[in-house]
Structure 1
Amino acid sequence: MTFKFGFTEAAIAVVVAFLLLAMLFLPEYDRPPLASVQSGYRGTGMAQIYNPRTVAANLPANEVPEIAGLPPLIEAGPKAGDVYQNVQVLTDLSAGQFLRLMTAITAWVSPEQGCAYCHAGNNFADDDLYTKRVSRWMIHMTRDLNTEWTNHVQQAWKEEEQPAAGVNCYTCHRGNNVPQNVWFNTPSVADEMQGMVGNRAGQNRPAENVALASLPANPFAPYLVADTDESGNILQKIRVIGQTALPTGNRASIKQAEQTYALMIHMSTSMGVNCTYCHNTRAMGSWEQSTPQRTTAWYGLQMVQALNAEYIIPSQVALPQHRLGPLGDVSKVNCATCHQGVFKPLYGANMTGDFPSLATANTVSRETLLPGLASAEASMEIGATLKSERTAAAAPAAAPSAPAATTTTTVPADATPAEAAPATAAPADAAAATAVPADAAATEAPADAAPATPAAPAEPATPEAATEAATPAPATQ
């Protein structure tokens, strides 16, 4: 049989078969059914789309494993510094707390090597191994995260009577010596082969960092290291959109806009959410119409900049050559380092409740912990500047949550709890060192802005609750 335009039934069947095969085997295609969670007013496209199968697959990777042989928490007794030699950071812990935390860190960071990963032979007080010196630095950083960056790493977990969520070593390491989601500097444009295609400006080559798009492959170096001029001003700001209708000095280029967009894509994929998690679709740049999560993202961007400047880059002085990247730089953190594909690291698991010493303020300065830090003083000053700016100028206030919206979810009739999508989008109190999709610049808050702590929408309290949204009713906390 031949149709009006000359197509035969066989030809049409071949085309249909090809399209079906493409949908089944293309890696970026999500076959139905999918789950849709409305997060804003009707008609604005404010919704998170979840693949129930992806959610179920992420659950095992985001469960916190039990630690075998973990001693009980004993806060009483002599201090660790009085019992053990060469204790420099955790001097405020009891000997029981200290031994318990060391056992946990071994399971979190070096489960295969054990204590020998940081300690040389039987002399545990010896500092010969670089891993021990850097570990002190990282413990100091973890405490700093849990006490100095509470606008992003929230310490009020669900209810006031419940312990803090926070972060610990496992949040990023997940049983690996080095976190798997880190980044290095890449060769400059001048070092690339130009050929007949001209200057690629670091883009037009598929990269996982930007979801295989043609955008700049490394959006981290311009924004997550926070280079400053002599006056301490951030050289390259994340925001590129103008603030006025007429030209008033905004010199951001299309190239910078593409770099910002690449960073936004990284943030989105790092958390498994889309742009509407932070932005209102009708006015993407408007703070007044944004979700509370955008405020959390504003603090998160500053936090990542400060972490790289204050802790990660200075630690390079203690690292051997084989731990550095192709250009001789240390591996640095970004959003995926903690989030690893979910809206809250480990679905908001309580990471400091059993280890309250990691949510305690440091009693020693970090400058005393690593030798040779003079070469890293400039970087540390940048981090300190970012922290002081965060304290002095709070993030622009995001709009309050929209009125309770009807949530529409579509799941298979025979779906099990592990195949359903999260009941809501992630809350404003995302508990980890990273950010969410936002085009906010980490240094552009007005000086007179009041601290913004907008209320977060309802959220799943546990990973299991995050997969039980098969019904339209929101999950209870």
Structure 2
Amino acid sequence: MKALIPIVLIVAALLGVQLIVSFERPPIDTVQQGFRGTGMEEGVNPRTEAKLVEANQAPDSYGPTEPGGPKASEIYQNVEVLGDLTEDEFTALMISITAWVSPDQSCAYCHNVENMASEEVYAKQVARRMLQMTKTINSKWKDHVADTGVNCYTCHRGNPVPQQAWFLESGPAESAGGFIAKRQGQNVATERAGYTSLPYTALEQLLVEDGNIRVQSASALPIAGQPGVGLQATESTYSLMMHMSDSLGQNCTFCHNTRALGNWEQSNPVRTKAWYGIRMARDINNTFVMPLQPLLPEAHLGPQGDIGKVSCNTCHQGVSKPLYGAPMLTDHPTLGVASD
């Protein structure tokens, strides 16, 4: 009997370690997200939240510029997007963009500093298109970004290339061999699918291609001529939902009443914002980001030779509102006006 006691203690200790590893220790705060009585609540770990707050600080504000003065197009050469700004507004925005995107490389990241009007640095052409994209987001997609808006820092966070851009998967071999001879874009754990075996091609299908997002298909097998039908289409939807959940630091009940996932009447209003966000991501990727691929050097492309694309995590980075909803257009309201 005495010999069994150490064994029992060892097993108990191992189980205790497993419990510690598997569950978040209290206290955990609870936030009501949806209708009372539906269980639409979010668990918030205050220790994790503190780290997120630290990682999602808005950039320093330099304050708005004084109105009036000559236009940038009258002072500088080859100003195609921001020529209607005053000289002071233009200079202030350039200083801010440097801090937002290339604080270490400074102006030389986009310009030949010996000839600022030159087009020889590819990053200048990319930056010009990104400014047009920012203006489009803030003017066309207000149903998602509201008046808070976005600027370069929302995604870049002081890095020339946003660290949360995504590329086509290259790791999982498509031919698995054995019982599962073809992976069909899934059946292997990947980070973007929440380390599940759900399809790791969901971002390509649903945030680049105009895939049909279905929570539950009525047919187990695909039907010719009916895209988005079949069990795998449903699994792609869940894969995207896993990605969105991780990106926003929320679970399903942030948008859905999980007893009726597809029912809009029982969903939170923020589900509508998510609907617009998905379509905004498609617009950004297809209209602005992917056409820039030929300009980029090989070092900035992914393993499959593709440009980094945007998803929910590119802006949100673990919180439901990027940078906790800090206003991004206060100093530079011109970024909220669509380009001609």
Q: TM-score, normalised by structure 1?
A: 0.66
Query: What SS does the aligned partner of 2:52 have?
Result: helix
> What is the identity percentage for the equivalent residue pairs of Structure 1 and Structure 2?
47
Structure 2 unaligned spans of 5+: none
| Among candidates 116, 122, 128, match of residue 114 of structure 2 | 122
In structure 2, the residue matched to 1:202 is: 185
Retained in 2: the 8 A contact 1:48–1:273? Answer: yes
Retained in 1: the 8 A contact 2:189–2:197? Answer: yes
| Among candidates 25, 29, 44, match of residue 50 of structure 1 | 44
What is the Cα deviation at residue 349 of structure 1? Answer: 0.4
Q: Could you tell me how far apart the structure 1 residues matched to 2:159 and 2:263 are? A: 40
Q: Could you tell me how far apart the structure 1 residues matched to 2:80 and 2:150 are? A: 21
What is the Cα deviation at residue 74 of structure 1? Answer: 2.3
Q: Could you tell me how far apart the structure 2 residues matched to 1:103 and 1:141 are? A: 19
> Residue type matched to 2:185 in 1?
G
> Residue type matched to 2:198 in 1?
L
Retained in 2: the 8 A contact 1:74–1:94? Answer: no
In structure 2, the residue matched to 1:282 is: 259
In structure 1, the residue matched to 2:154 is: 171
Retained in 2: the 8 A contact 1:37–1:47? Answer: yes
Q: Could you tell me how far apart the structure 1 residues matched to 2:229 and 2:116 are? A: 53
Q: Deviations over 1:110-159 (max 9, x none)?
A: 0000001011132111110000010000001001110110000101xxxx
Question: Is 1:65 aligned with 2:59?
Answer: yes
Question: Is 1:22 aligned with 2:11?
Answer: no
> Residue type matched to 2:60 in 1?
E
Q: Could you tell me how far apart the structure 1 residues matched to 2:235 and 2:274 are? A: 19
Retained in 2: the 8 A contact 1:64–1:346? Answer: yes
What is the Cα deviation at residue 200 of structure 1? Answer: 1.9
What is the Cα deviation at residue 39 of structure 1? Answer: 2.3
| Among candidates 29, 40, 43, match of residue 35 of structure 1 | 29
Question: Is 1:107 aligned with 2:137?
Answer: no
Q: Could you tell me how far apart the structure 1 residues matched to 2:129 and 2:228 are? A: 39
Change (3 A) 1:144 1:250: closer
Retained in 2: the 8 A contact 1:117–1:131? Answer: yes
What is the Cα deviation at residue 243 of structure 1? Answer: 7.9
Q: Which runs of 4+ in 1 moved over 6 A?
A: 248-251
> Residue type matched to 2:124 in 1?
K
> Residue type matched to 1:90 in 2?
L
In structure 2, the residue matched to 1:369 is: none
Retained in 2: the 8 A contact 1:267–1:336? Answer: yes
Query: What SS does the aligned partner of 2:257 have?
Result: coil
Change (3 A) 1:251 1:222: closer
Of Structure 1 and Structure 2, the greater helix share is in 2
Q: Could you tell me how far apart the structure 1 residues matched to 2:67 and 2:151 are? A: 19
| Among candidates 160, 163, 168, match of residue 185 of structure 1 | 168
What is the Cα deviation at residue 329 of structure 1? Answer: 1.6
| Among candidates 212, 221, 226, match of residue 195 of structure 2 | 212
Change (3 A) 1:128 1:336: same
In structure 2, the residue matched to 1:154 is: 146
Q: Could you tell me how far apart the structure 1 residues matched to 2:127 and 2:228 are? A: 43
Query: What SS does the aligned partner of 2:89 have?
Result: helix
Q: Deviations over 1:256-306 (max 9, x none)?
A: 211111100000010000101111122111011111011111111111011
Question: Is 1:266 aligned with 2:267?
Answer: no
Aligned counterparts, 1:56-455, within 5 A: 56-66=50-60, 70=62, 73-155=65-147, 165-187=148-170, 192-196=174-178, 197-226=180-209, 234=210, 236-242=211-217, 252-363=229-340
Question: Is 1:12 aligned with 2:8?
Answer: yes
> Residue type matched to 1:239 in 2?
R
Query: What SS does the aligned partner of 1:213 have?
Result: coil
What is the Cα deviation at residue 186 of structure 1? Answer: 2.8
Retained in 2: the 8 A contact 1:209–1:218? Answer: no
What is the Cα deviation at residue 16 of structure 1? Answer: 2.3
Q: Could you tell me how far apart the structure 1 residues matched to 2:196 and 2:13 are? A: 27
Q: Could you tell me how far apart the structure 2 residues matched to 1:108 and 1:250 are? A: 41
Q: Could you tell me how far apart the structure 2 residues matched to 1:97 and 1:23 are? A: 57
Retained in 1: the 8 A contact 2:217–2:233? Answer: no
> Residue type matched to 2:195 in 1?
L
Q: Could you tell me how far apart the structure 1 residues matched to 2:84 and 2:121 are? A: 24
Structure 1 range deviating more: 38-47 or 139-148: 38-47
Change (3 A) 1:250 1:167: closer
Q: Could you tell me how far apart the structure 1 residues matched to 2:192 and 2:168 are? A: 13
Number of residue equivalences: 334
What is the Cα deviation at residue 211 of structure 1? Answer: 1.7
Q: Could you tell me how far apart the structure 2 residues matched to 1:301 and 1:327 are? A: 24
Q: Deviations over 1:50-93 (max 9, x none)?
A: 111000011111112326xx585123100000011110001110
Q: TM-score, normalised by structure 2?
A: 0.92
Q: Could you tell me how far apart the structure 2 residues matched to 1:78 and 1:39 are? A: 50
> Residue type matched to 1:135 in 2?
A
Q: Could you tell me how far apart the structure 2 residues matched to 1:63 and 1:194 are? A: 43
Query: What SS does the aligned partner of 1:195 have?
Result: coil
Q: Could you tell me how far apart the structure 1 residues matched to 2:49 and 2:240 are? A: 23
Change (3 A) 1:12 1:38: farther
Q: Could you tell me how far apart the structure 2 residues matched to 1:214 and 1:173 are? A: 30
What is the Cα deviation at residue 36 of structure 1? Answer: 0.9
